């Protein structure tokens, strides 16, 4: 029925799209990877025809204009574009609130096709539907193929692994003191779920970036506190569990989570995407050290597994549609000098190599790029000890500290960001820390305005990303 549902909704889409084709672009990445900024910048640049020399329709002079339109699905929150722009253009500007749940936005693009017959048909229109969702949610796909007993066995084995004791201890203690065959009751379920959630949270903090399923436990969206999120893995009891036992209750909730939360997300949203961009905060991991880099790689491999699950597990096939292009983007490239951008791309390539290489993405093309949705720094040079060093100029966010100086959020500084290593593999080797001067910067102030009086948001390679993701649909 899922397969039928998708077929029907795709049919409905194509019926309504007889006149106007619709391209569904998914934007994902782990928490704070840069999704909100990427989408806000992309939409603003399209609406205002910003500086996008690498975006062919605009560079060729075929781009006519763009406007926001009502999203066809009224049950999904709208991406808060105007609010995000207001934050970015406030005085002083602030970074907007990050993605916490799924949201969507439709932008209608009008252009002149470059095809030979286009002169006869006049301007064409494309609906670009942008779907923003937490990458953490993708970690849940494998759950659809796992029973409660199987998932519990996996999750508990991981919690009991040496090295995880610190985060898992409190949860395991709760578990040991609970008789899973006792009568079902909410306080016990809540206690276990809370201990399990705090284990997941602490393990994310400890391991810097990685995330363990269920994804909604870390980013619940609108489900915070609901029974669908009130469960935890339990050891399988020896005998059969009575129907009114605690074990049966949590098993039931796990199944409800799969049926009512995970499955609809994959069926109604993920499986209907045409293109996908996966944003990765590579620099933060580099700055944290080799363990964080290895961890990011693991998390990315898990996230990216979703793009080819259908090949290996027929049960999951209905939930993974053929996405024909995936763009991997290392975000916040304005934190390093442009001379390091090639290296940043090489590092990202290495990070996704496992996921991308072992199996091609079910026929999808992939590309890696280093970009900044919004560029918060300018470049300059300083002379130090007779050497000329490339620098970044920007205003570190209040509270950011480097070399014993804590910044007040108002002072512009120039700093040498450091070089990225030439050989990506060296990042995984202990004793090879990358000495990056990594500071979070305030969004750019004193923005330029275009002839129409609209602000111009500076970016790095957003145009190339856009061209790869939608350019061919506007050929």
- Residues making contact with ligand GDP (CB under 6 A): 29, 31-37, 95, 98-99, 331-332, 334, 372-374, 376, 440-441
* Whether the bond into 121 is cis, omega within 30 of 0: no
Q: Of 9 and 98, which CB lies nearer to ligand GDP in the complex structure?
A: 98
Which CB atom, from 99 or from 245, has the smaller least distance to ligand GDP?
99
Task: Give whole-number Cα distances, 246 to 175, 197, 283, 304, in Å.
Answer: 12, 18, 44, 34
The DSSP symbol for 245 reads B
In whole angstroms, what is the distance from residue 285 CA to residue 267 CA?
Answer: 32
- Rg of the chain on CA atoms, in Å: 24
Smallest gap from Cβ 240 to ligand GDP, in A, equals 44
Tell which phi-psi region holds residue 471, choosing left (phi > 0), alpha (psi between -120 and 50) or beta. alpha
CB of 28 to ligand GDP, least distance (A): 8
For residues 99 and 320, which CB has a smaller minimum distance to ligand GDP in the complex?
99
Measured CA to CA, the distance from residue 88 to residue 108 in angstroms comes to 23
At which residue do the structure tokens 């049960």 appear?
315
**Least distance from ligand GDP to the Cβ atom of residue 147, Å:** 32
Residue 107 has phi, psi (to 5 degrees) of: -125, 130
Question: Of 267, 30, 57, nearest to 133 (Cα)?
Answer: 30
Is the previous residue joined to 92 through a cis bond, with omega within 30 degrees of 0?
yes
CB of 194 to ligand GDP, least distance (A): 24
Q: Cβ closer to ligand GDP: 168 or 333?
A: 333
334/467 with CB nearer ligand GDP? 334
Question: Minimal distance in Å, beta carbon 37 to ligand GDP?
Answer: 3
Structure tokens that stand for 229 in this block: 């999120």
In terms of Cα–Cα distance, which of 22, 21, 33, 102 is closest to 266? 102
Whose Cβ is closer to ligand GDP: residue 308's or residue 464's? 464
* Residue 201 CB contacts under 8 Å (≥ 6 apart), including other chains: 218
Tokens of 43: 């939409």
CB of 287 to ligand GDP, least distance (A): 13
Give CA–CA dist 410/383, Å, rounded. Answer: 24
Residue (192 or 303) nearer to ligand GDP, CB: 303
Q: Nearest distance from residue 269's CB to ligand GDP, in Å?
A: 17
CB of 273 to ligand GDP, least distance (A): 17
156 token code pair: 């508990």
**CB 19 to ligand GDP: min, Å:** 33
By C-beta, is 103 or 309 nearer to ligand GDP?
Answer: 103
Adjacent-strand bridge partners of 394: 413
CA nearest 299: which of 199, 186, 210? 210
Instruction: Kindly state the tokens that stand for 374.
Output: 């919004």
Nearer to ligand GDP, 234 or 392 (CB): 392
């Amino acid at each position: 029925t899922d397969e039928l549902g998708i077929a029907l909704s795709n049919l409905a889409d194509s019926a309504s799209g007889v006149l106007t084709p619709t391209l569904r672009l998914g934007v994902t990445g782990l928490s704070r990877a840069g999704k909100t900024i990427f989408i806000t910048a992309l939409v603003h640049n399209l609406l205002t025809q910003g500086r996008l020399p690498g975006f062919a329709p605009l560079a060729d002079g075929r781009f006519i204009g763009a406007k926001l339109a009502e999203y066809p699905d009224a049950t999904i929150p709208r991406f808060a574009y105007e609010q995000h722009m207001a934050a970015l253009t406030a005085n002083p500007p602030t970074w907007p609130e990050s993605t916490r749940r799924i949201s969507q936005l439709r932008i209608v693009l009008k252009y002149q096709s470059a095809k030979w017959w286009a002169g006869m048909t006049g301007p064409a229109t494309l609906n670009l539907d942008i779907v923003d969702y937490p990458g953490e949610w993708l970690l849940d796909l494998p759950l659809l193929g796992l029973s409660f007993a199987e998932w519990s066995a996996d999750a508990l084995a991981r919690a009991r692994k040496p090295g995880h004791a610190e985060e898992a201890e409190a949860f395991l203690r709760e578990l040991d003191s609970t008789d899973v065959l006792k009568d079902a009751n909410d306080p016990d379920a809540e206690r276990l779920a809370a201990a399990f959630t705090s284990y997941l949270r602490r393990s994310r903090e400890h391991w810097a970036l990685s995330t363990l399923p269920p994804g909604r436990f870390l980013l619940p969206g609108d489900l915070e506190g609901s029974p669908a999120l009130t469960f935890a893995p339990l050891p399988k009891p020896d005998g059969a569990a009575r129907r009114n036992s605690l074990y049966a209750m949590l098993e039931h909730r796990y199944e409800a989570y799969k049926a009512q939360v995970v499955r609809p997300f994959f069926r109604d949203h993920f499986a209907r995407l045409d293109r996908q961009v996966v944003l990765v905060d590579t620099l933060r991991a580099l700055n944290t050290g080799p363990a964080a880099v290895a961890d990011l790689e693991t998390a990315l491999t898990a996230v990216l597994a979703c793009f080819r699950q259908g090949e290996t597990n027929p049960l999951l096939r209905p939930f993974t549609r053929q996405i024909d292009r995936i763009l991997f983007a290392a975000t916040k490239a304005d934190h390093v000098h442009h001379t390091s951008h090639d290296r940043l791309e090489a590092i990202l390539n290495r990070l996704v190599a496992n996921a991308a290489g072992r199996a091609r993405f079910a026929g999808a093309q992939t590309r890696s790029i280093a970009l900044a949705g919004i560029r918060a720094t300018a470049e300059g040079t300083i002379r130090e000890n007779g050497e000329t060093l490339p620098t970044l100029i920007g205003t570190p966010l209040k509270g950011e500290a480097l070399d014993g100086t804590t910044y007040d959020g108002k002072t512009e500084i120039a700093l040498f960001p450091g070089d990225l290593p030439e050989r990506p593999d060296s990042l995984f080797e202990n004793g090879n820390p990358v000495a990056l001067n990594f500071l979070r910067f305030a969004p750019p102030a004193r923005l330029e305005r275009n002839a129409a009086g609209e602000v111009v948001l500076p970016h790095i390679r957003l145009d190339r990303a856009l061209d790869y993701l939608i350019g061919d649909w506007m050929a």
